[in-house]
Amino acid sequence: MLDRQLEPEVMDDPLESQAYDAMDHDSVNRCFVEDFLRFEPSPADVLDLGTGTARIPIELCRQSDSCRIMASDAASSMLDIARMNLSEEGVEHRVQLHHGDAKSLGFDDDYFGSVISNSLIHHVPDPRVVLQEMVRVTRPGGTIFVRDLLRPSSMDQVESLVSCYTANEPAESQQLFRQSLIAALTCEEMADLVSALGFDPQTVKATSDRHWTWAARK
């Protein structure tokens, strides 16, 4: 089994943020939103943790007319790009940006109807703390929908995934993806974490060759 190797918790270099935003995440983001809406067809107040440059809130606005979104990230440089992206798409009236730390959110208990997150957990040294915060700010009966990369079992598998999904990306983007795969959790590790929070570990599932998803109701 490949050991987890952490990468920087916050990607706040403007050049790195620009490189991240330039990567082609369209199909992954579209699939994330489609799967979330199958689980929660009529979301209202949604918190997107680790929003990055707000590509998922933009896609969510395209696919759902019912939601309002709080898009939170710890990186100011990501939010600067997010602000431009929201303006270009004309959805800034439906998405509010929030600069904050997912480990210590400034929101009240039971504040949001849904909490979503894509590709945040692999950045966090102790994901348990972030997951606790997600649960805390979700209303009873609300939805938690989290997806992230799935750590491969060997470097050969890492390189295979890098070749498959980032072959046409610049070397810097390929390295970001490689580091993220190695920093990711396994399904078993994630299942243990949600079980400790009182959720059924079976709510964590491998949902692609490189992703796990946790979909649950509080």
For residue 125, the model assigns a pLDDT of 94
For residue 108, the model assigns a pLDDT of 97
Q: Which pairing describes strands 45-49 and 68-73: parallel, antiparallel, or unpaired?
A: parallel
DSSP characters for 12-28? --HHHHHHHHHS--HHH
- Average pLDDT on 201-207 reads 98
Specify whether the CB–CB gap between 51 and 82 falls below 8 A: yes
For residue 25, the model assigns a pLDDT of 75
* 190 or 65, higher pLDDT: 190
- Average pLDDT on 13-36 reads 80
- Average pLDDT on 48-77 reads 95
Confidence of residue 38 (pLDDT cuts 50, 70, 90): very high
* Bridge partners, 72 (sequence order): 49, 98
* 207 or 18, higher pLDDT: 207
User: What's the rounded Cα separation, in Å, for the pair 102 and 71?
Assistant: 11
* Bridge partners, 87 (sequence order): none
Domains of the chain: 14-217 (3.40.50.150)
Whether 21 shows a pLDDT value over 60: the answer reads no
pLDDT in tens, 166-187: 998 889 889 989 999 999 999 9
Three-state DSSP class for residue 153? coil
Taking all residues of the chain, what is their mean pLDDT, rounded to a whole number?
93
42, burial (CB in 10 Å: exposed 0-12, middle 13-18, buried 19+)? exposed
For residue 96, the model assigns a pLDDT of 97
Least confident of 85-99, 123-137, 166-180, 184-198: 166-180
- The model carries a pTM of 0.93
* 122 or 176, higher pLDDT: 122
